[in-house]
Structure 1
Amino acid sequence: MSTVPESKTNGETTLSSEDEGHTSLAKRLAGANTLWIGVVLLLLIAVFGAIRPDAVLTTFTLQTTLVETSVLLVLAVGMTFVIITSGIDLSVGSVLVFSGVTSAMTMNAMSGGDATKAGWGVVWVGLLVALVSGAAWGLLNGLLIAKSKIPPLIVTLGSFGAALGAGQLISNGSNVAGVPEVLGNTLGTGTYLGIPNLVLLAAVVAAIGALLLTTTRFGRYTYAIGSNEEAARRVGISVTGHLMKIYLLAGVLAGLAGFMAMAYFRVASVTGHDTDNLNAIAGVVLGGTSLFGGAGSVVGTVLGVFIPAVLRKGFVILGVNVYWQPIAVAIVLVAAVWFDQSRRRARNQR
């Protein structure tokens, strides 16, 4: 006689422990932000691929999409930590510009005005300058937000203008050329086993960010502060010190992103990054990180960053008017925030 996966107690039917486990797992999967984000991304690829399989489902399209998204992904990893603490950083795009400019100008100065033939020693110094430049702006943001208690929106809006202005000031408003060829050939366009080095670097940053957020005390403190800052303070977490570290991390990654962009374009550009901060925020929110803090993941951010990237690439391939691209991204972004708010209301009503 077959085993029936249920039992009756006091006239009521109850599921067996095995079925309860399956039901619980199904509910967890159905409620997982990352799962739904991945489904949306796959659907977008499938739709564009069905319409133009000859142009969408190709190695070239995959590589170009990955490369074009790498710099934004590095920015978004830092932004994930910031938003989980219920903060915001509008300055990352400007810090990217400032870091690229200072790095390029340093390498040119070390090479007598033309760094194109410079070696790895000059490149490493340029990388250090980019990271320090980003860290300086991140530390300034952290000090004003954590110690002076100025709202993150106001602080980073101010540093958004200040960093961009400083970059334009020291470069006289012009792009800085003279990037070492060894840097452009290796990091900018170089590959390893067929994978662009720029993509590999972004993947390493994302992997380290994911491990930092999910397996360390630093990550647990980040979630705790975003969930309830006062409660985190009462259990002994140094909220001020931790927030300073969070904004410092975002600044360092913005500096690294500036160095990567410089390597790819072979010039430190003072234009073209006006919306990088908003794109990074959009990618993080689309990835399931709550603007209210306390929830989010780097894995979700990776998927979220690729949703607008795939939309833009698909529209270009299909020949859709370029002005529809920001409209489509905006609709998806608003839908993601609405979904997050709906889930929060439903959870609070339980």
Structure 2
Amino acid sequence: MTAPSRSSKSQRTETEDAGPDGVAARAGSPGAGLTRRLGSAQEVWIGLVLVALLVVFSLLEPDSFATSFNLLNLVADAAILLLLAVGMTYVIITSGIDLSVGGLLVFSGVTATKVMEATGATSTGSLLLGVVVAMLTGLVWGVLNGALVAYGRIPPLIVTLGTLGMSLGGALLLTGGVDMRAPGRLNLGLGLDKFVGVPVIVWISVAVTLVLGVILAQCRFGRHTYAIGSNSKAARNSGVLVNKHLVKVYALAGLLAGLAGYLSLAKYGVTGVSAHSTDNLQAIAAVVIGGTSLFGGAGTVTGTVIGVFIPAVLQNGFQILGVKPFWQQVVVGAVLIAAVYLDQWRRKARDN
């Protein structure tokens, strides 16, 4: 009997490692164990960086920074970006990118406002309809992104850059370039209400993040997401419906952008047509700082949460200290470069 060739052995091993219920990353090999340890170490290190920032700013401005009022505002400001970043985590783990989330946030907020105005915006039903419309709007854009990437074979950078322009342009057409005001009941209710002393917006963001964190870490959907980012060919050979899964991942990112648009509308009281042009870059920076690999196949929601709060704490602390806001951009940019460098070093260590 003829022995199988080395290439066929390699392909079979690759396929088995990327089974429908497993991650395609040579899970049983020493290299994979090292990768997991390095990934955990990176989360620990960025967590320590966040703790250090909190301690430093608390010592420098204890009467301003380390107050419950300021910290609650900090968390509330980060809650909306966190939703975008969690969706971006899924996308980047598949080795993709989504530049459209800021535009989808704006477009979803605008369409929700239009619907609520048309239905009177005075009843609870109208407000609930608004959030449904916002999320469905984001979902439709996300499905479009995913379909073009998966079935159209267009690079995700190009697809989402195009839909960013389309969604922002559509929002400008619907509003005439002028911000629309949110219904008063939405802004005074969901936007300002608190539960156990914490803004309702924060609770919503935390609940969504926890659910999606568990799904990514423990459920088949998350394992398939990792498998596609690790080796899409092996994942497909093992039975993962790669194209359909990619559509679902981009749809999830769009859905979260729609929810973020509604919560932004509730918090700030306006659609913010021109205020979210850099949200996509902030979300990507948070995800990468949090340890998700731009090459795909590695990352956690826990790391993303930490990555969201590092720039938020820097911005808040610099504002209190009276430091020019430009320095925040410099520091965040340096941290982002360091995170990408660490990711490259981690990949080299895994390959060796």
The verdict on a shared fold, with TM-score over 0.5 as the criterion, is yes
Matched, 1:83 2:86: no
Alignment of 1:278-317 (within 5 A): 278-317=281-320
Alignment of 1:201-216 (within 5 A): 201-216=204-219
Alignment of 1:176-215 (within 5 A): 176-177=180-181, 179-215=182-218
> C-alpha distance in 1, partners of 2:147/2:215?
22
Q: What is the root-mean-square deviation in Å for CA atoms of aligned residues?
A: 1.5
What is the CA-CA distance between 1:254 and the residue it aligns to?
A: 0.3
1:348 to 343, 348, 351: 351
What is the CA-CA distance between 1:64 and the residue it aligns to?
A: 0.7
Q: Which residue of 2 aligns with 1:4?
A: none
> Could you give the per-residue CA deviations for residues 212-252 of structure 1, whole angstroms, max 9, x where no partner exists?
10111100000000000101011010000000000000000
Decide whether the 8 Å contact of 1:29 with 1:35 is kept in 2. Answer: no
Alignment of 1:81-230 (within 5 A): 81-111=90-120, 115=121, 118-177=122-181, 179-230=182-233
Decide whether the 8 Å contact of 2:38 with 2:346 is kept in 1. Answer: no
What is the CA-CA distance between 1:46 and the residue it aligns to?
A: 1.2
Q: Higher relative CO (CA 8 A, sep ≥ 6), structure 1 or 2? A: 2
What SS class does the counterpart of residue 115 from structure 2 fall into?
Answer: helix
What is the CA-CA distance between 1:53 and the residue it aligns to?
A: 1.5
Structure number with bigger Rg: 1
What SS class does the counterpart of residue 272 from structure 1 fall into?
Answer: coil
What is the CA-CA distance between 1:29 and the residue it aligns to?
A: 8.1
Q: Which amino acid in structure 2 is aligned with residue 74 of structure 1?
A: L
Decide whether the 8 Å contact of 2:84 with 2:256 is kept in 1. Answer: yes
Residues 208/147 of structure 1: CA separation in 2 closer, same or farther (3 Å cut)? same
Residues 90/293 of structure 1: CA separation in 2 closer, same or farther (3 Å cut)? same
Decide whether the 8 Å contact of 1:136 with 1:251 is kept in 2. Answer: yes
Question: Which range is displaced more, 44-53 or 234-243?
Answer: 44-53
Decide whether the 8 Å contact of 2:194 with 2:200 is kept in 1. Answer: yes
Q: Runs of at least 4 residues of structure 1 off by over 6 A?
A: none
> C-alpha distance in 2, partners of 1:171/1:31?
46
Residues 30/158 of structure 1: CA separation in 2 closer, same or farther (3 Å cut)? closer
> C-alpha distance in 1, partners of 2:261/2:70?
24
Identity across the alignment (%): 52
TM-score by length of 1: 0.89
TM-score by length of 2: 0.88
Which sections of structure 2, spanning at least 5 residues, go unmatched?
Answer: 1-32
Alignment of 1:231-242 (within 5 A): 231-242=234-245
Which sections of structure 1, spanning at least 5 residues, go unmatched?
Answer: 1-23
What SS class does the counterpart of residue 173 from structure 2 fall into?
Answer: helix
Matched, 1:34 2:43: yes
> C-alpha distance in 2, partners of 1:197/1:331?
33
> C-alpha distance in 1, partners of 2:240/2:277?
36
> C-alpha distance in 2, partners of 1:332/1:311?
11
Q: Which amino acid in structure 1 is aligned with residue 191 of structure 2?
A: G
Number of residue pairs aligned between Structure 1 and Structure 2: 319
What is the CA-CA distance between 1:32 and the residue it aligns to?
A: 2.5
> C-alpha distance in 2, partners of 1:176/1:57?
35
